[in-house]
Chains A and B, each alone.
Chain A
């Protein structure tokens, strides 16, 4: 009997080694799949960002590593009128330009969504400002705004509307509005075309239903189009705000931050102080000071994306 019992007993399962467990573990495999992407992000995003923040706590200069000086750079910037002017300029630039880009972009998108002759060509034309390299369009604007050779001044003068040339870039507020206008011109196509793509995903049956219910065109826009467009608006405007906030080329070509720093954005001031002036630490502090603003913009859009879920009735999330 004992023999039988022995025969019947199954061999005790061999202990599974940790290695064997690991080999079939999906999470372990996933880690390896994610590693290249993570390495890429760490090397090219997290490390430079961390380095920038670290530099802002040092007195580093170009070509010379600095020593840790704590908050000295921030302390200096906190009562540097030029820095605060650049913060004001950046906020003005971003808020006004983004608002106008949104309004005009949405209007254009609605217009382009209608049936009209030569639709494809017109849509392509709208994209042109976005296709032209920024520096090229900035140089074109530089001529348009030139103190002596502005085409705008010339035309108005010949129409007899003004006596002298318009001082586009030499007067503080003129310079601000001029640079904002150039930025708007450049940014509208991105907003318009992306919103147009969003509009085309709205199912026509919803419009039909709304029309049958007797909704006016405004009501259709307000209660059908706009809510369905919200997610894409959130994404587009986040990008638009980020692009505008960090704009550099346009200002650098048009004014280099002048006259008397009236158009210096945080990005251009950071470049001037860090690279041209050689005070890497101080420039890094200015760049780092942009992070809270950018985070705020991103959080706002995240909040916008959440709202979509309410609007679509998934209130449980």
Chain B
């Protein structure tokens, strides 16, 4: 059983319903059989506590809770779940790693395990087991999961950040298909603006939507904030090209994007004020749930980010890896739980419940019907394969994390687009800040 906190009590109704569906006798049998056969046997009287990021889609969390309960029933391991906003998991995990106390498992954002690799339980056996069984890990997942030859975390899933657009308005602007190249996309943005059906990307301090499109734009033009030795390379002609491109987009966006946070584009899209933006699948999910917004769901679709002059996809998606701390008294239970989460019988219904909000990192899950039952969800199937990692060419550790969370690159773009700085000044300021973050 999970400990009943305020949230589980509040969501009692729906959680109970979901649990009933999952914990039928057959499922319990399967869970028990799995626990018998699994290579990891939880320690006697093991108890785990897990800190996870706070969900965006309620149904996803319900399934997660049900999954934890199934594990408890099958193995007798009690699990306590706590939740934090996804930006706040990192500070808590860092403190736990440093003090050697706190939750056993942390499920957080981007390169979390790389902030303290020596404090993470070696997960190589779990990764190998899952990789062999489910068609192998995608490249970006390997980068996020491994430090040297060792897996220090297991990449559970991505949340994709892709283009959301209105179909009719795009057709009216002369685009029957969403543009696949950046120069074409600029034409699209201009045409949409001209038709009075503009869109927009967040340029405020939006951790998710802001950073994902900014890094896409930088990488699409060959810019990199660091090279493979973590030397700062932001001040480059490629970055300048990316800045100029972003400004051309910005001038044709809806006014006010410099103030947008992560939820602004969702509101504006659902309010029919904008007709294209970048986002997870949440706009579509919300539009489908609300009868008065049904027409938006019907008239919208998703697409990959356009490919830039570098000639290959340069998307950045939100990675959610899980790690077990070396201070845990029950490493075997941790491993068993992580493997259990990603087994097909658990993971398939879980990502189905998330309705496209969670994308898998194990190729076998491409076959999950969620991705094809509704073709509008299909692009989110591929985000793991298309994603680059938060560190760019450089390391994936705390320096990359600090650069993202301090909005260095985002502010460089915003400073130039809003006309506060010219390209030279904007790049120099960013370079200066990055050099400080990346000093050894």
User: B-contacting residues of A (Cβ < 8 Å)?
Assistant: 61-65, 76, 80-82, 145-149, 164-165, 167-172, 175, 255-261, 272-273, 275-279
Q: Is B255 an interface residue (CB 8 A)?
A: yes
- Given contacts A63-B97, A64-B98, A278-B398, whether A147 and B257 have CB atoms under 8 Å apart is yes
Contact stretch, chosen from B39-47, B74-82, B87-95, B378-386: B87-95
| Known A256-B261, A278-B91: A147·B255 in contact at CB below 8 Å | yes
Query: Chain B nearest CB: distance from A262 CB in Å?
Result: 8
Check A278–B256 contact: CB distance below 8 A. Answer: no
Partner of B205, one of A63, A257, A273: A257
B390 in contact (CB, < 8 A): no
Q: Is the CB of A259 within 8 A of B405?
A: no
- Interface residues in B242-260 by Cβ distance below 8 A to A read 254-260
Would you call A164 and B203 a contact (CB within 8 A)?
A: no
Whether B418 pairs with A76 at a CB distance below 8 angstroms is: no
Q: CB distance A277 to B261 under 8 Å? A: no
Complex contacts, B168 vs chain A, CB 8 Å: none
CB interface residues, B 90-109, toward A, < 8 Å: 90-91, 93-99
* B332 close to A (CB within 8 Å): no
B402 touches A279 (CB 8 A): yes
* Residue contact B94 to A64, C-beta cutoff 8 Å: yes
Which residues of B sit under 8 angstroms from A256, Cβ to Cβ? 204-205, 261
CB distance from A147 to the nearest CB of B (A): 3
The answer to whether the Cβ of B132 comes within 8 Å of any Cβ in the partner chain is: no
Please measure, in the bound complex, the distance between the C-alpha atom of A258 and the C-alpha atom of B203, giving whole angstroms: 9
Known contacts A63-B116, A167-B256, A172-B418; can you find 4 more A-B pairs with CB under 8 A?
A: A169-B256, A170-B257, A255-B205, A275-B91
Find chain A residues with CB under 8 A from B271 CB. 148-149
- The answer to whether A259 and B258 touch (CB under 8 A), given A273-B406, A278-B402, is yes
- Give bound CA distance, A272 to B420, whole Å: 21
CB pair B411 A276 closer than 8 Å: no
Taken together as a complex, chains A and B put the C-alpha atoms of A82 and B411 apart, in Å, by 11
> Does A148 contact B259, Cβ atoms closer than 8 Å?
no
Contact A259 B414 (CB under 8 A): yes
11 contacts between A and B (CB under 8 A): A76-B436, A82-B433, A147-B264, A165-B255, A172-B418, A255-B204, A256-B204, A258-B204, A258-B205, A260-B411, A278-B90
Q: Is the CB of B414 within 8 A of A260?
A: yes
Contact check: which of A147, A171, A258, A277 meets B402 at CB < 8 Å?
A277
Question: A175 CA to B259 CA in the complex, in Å?
Answer: 9
B339 to chain A, nearest CB (A): 28
A260 to B407, CA, bound (A): 9
Q: Does B329 contact A (CB under 8 A)?
A: no
Residues of A within 8 A of B98 (CB): 63-65
Contact present for B256 and A147 (CB under 8 Å)? yes
Interface size on B, residues (CB 8 A): 43
Which chain A residues lie closer than 8 Å to B257 at the CB level?
147, 170
Q: Choose one: B87, B256, B418; the contact of A260 (CB below 8 Å).
A: B418
Chain A residues, CB < 8 A from B231: none
**C-alpha spacing A65/B97, complex, angstroms:** 12
A64-B94, A147-B254, A172-B418 known; A277 vs B264 contact (CB < 8 Å) = no
Residue pair A146, B267 in contact (C-beta under 8 Å): yes
In the complex, whether B238 has a CB less than 8 A from a CB of chain A is no
Cα(A145)–Cα(B364), bound, Å = 46
Q: How many angstroms between the C-alpha atoms of A14 and B117 in the bound complex?
A: 73
Bound complex: CA of A151 vs CA of B239, how far in Å? 38
* B429 CB-CB contact with A under 8 Å: yes
CB within 8 Å of A: which of B301-330? none
* A258 and B256 within 8 A (CB): no
Q: A165 is contacted by which of B97, B256, B267, B415 (Cβ under 8 Å)?
A: B256
Shortest beta-carbon contacts, A-B, top 9: A147-B256, A63-B94, A169-B259, A63-B98, A256-B205, A170-B259, A259-B258, A170-B258, A258-B204
Residue of A nearest to B97 (CB): A63
Q: Is B84 an interface residue (CB 8 A)?
A: no
One of A260, A273, A278 near B401 (C-beta < 8 A): A278
The smallest C-beta distance from B15 to any residue of chain A, in angstroms, reads 27
Q: Check B57 for interface membership: any CB of A closer than 8 A.
A: no
How many whole Å from B278's CB to the nearest CB in chain A? 16
A79 to B90 alpha-carbon distance, docked (Å): 29
**Interface: B147 (CB within 8 A):** no
Closest CB in chain A relative to B206 CB, distance in Å: 8
B261: chain A residues within 8 A (beta carbon): 256
Contacts of B407 in A (CB 8 A): 272
- Report A93 CB to chain B, min CB distance, Å: 17
Find B405's partner among A63, A64, A165, A278 (CB 8 Å cutoff): A278
Q: How far is the CB of B424 from chain A (nearest CB, A)?
A: 14
Which residues on B sit within 8 Å (CB–CB) of A172?
A: 418, 420
Question: Using Cβ atoms and an 8 Å threshold, which residues of chain A touch B402?
Answer: 277-279
Among the listed A63, A148, A276, which residue makes an inter-chain contact with B256, where contact means beta carbons less than 8 Å apart? A148
* B28 CB contacts on chain A under 8 angstroms: none
Complex interface: chain B residues within 8 A of A81 (CB)? 429
**Which of chain A's residues have a CB closer than 8 A to the CB of B96?**
63
The answer, among B95, B260, B405, B411, for a CB contact under 8 Å with A147, is B260
Nearest Cβ on chain B to A75's Cβ, whole angstroms:
11
User: How many angstroms from the CA of A120 to the CA of B274 in the assembled complex?
Assistant: 47
Q: Whole-angstrom distance between the alpha carbons of A273 and B406 in the complex?
A: 7
User: Of A168, A255, A259, A279, which one neighbours B418 at CB under 8 angstroms?
Assistant: A259
Are B95 and A258 in contact (CB-based, < 8 A)?
no
Q: Which residues of B, 175-211, contact A by the 8 Å Cβ criterion? A: 203-205
Q: What distance in Å separates the Cβ of B323 from its nearest Cβ neighbour in chain A? A: 14
B398 touches A61 (CB 8 A): yes
Q: How far is the CA of A256 from the CA of B209 in the complex (A)?
A: 15
| Closest Cβ–Cβ distance, residue B263 to chain A (whole Å) | 10
Contact of B95 among A62, A82, A169 (CB under 8 A): A62
In the complex, which of the residues A61, A62, A168, A275 has the most CB atoms of chain B within 10 Å of its own CB atom?
A62
Q: Hey, what's the 0/1 contact readout for B19-61 against A, CB within 8 Å counting as 1?
A: 0000000000000000000000000000000000000000000
Q: A273-B406, A277-B402, A278-B405 are in contact. Are A164 and B95 (CB under 8 A)?
A: no
B267 touches A149 (CB 8 A): yes
In the complex, which residues 265-282 of chain B have their Cβ closer than 8 Å to any Cβ of chain A?
A: 267-268, 271, 273-274
Distance in Å from the Cβ of A164 to the closest Cβ of chain B? 6
Would you list which residues of chain B between 403 and 437 have a CB under 8 Å from chain A? 405-407, 411, 414-415, 418, 420, 429, 432-433, 436
| Beta-carbon contact of A63 and B415 below 8 Å | no
B347 to chain A, nearest CB (A): 31
Known A146-B267, A148-B273, A260-B415; contact A63-B258, beta-carbon cutoff 8 A: no
A80 to chain B, nearest CB (A): 8
Q: With both chains docked as a complex, state the minimum distance between the C-beta of B1 and any C-beta of chain A, in angstroms.
A: 31
Most buried by A among B258, B259, B436: B259
Give the shortest distance, in Å, between B403 (CB) and chain A (any CB). 9
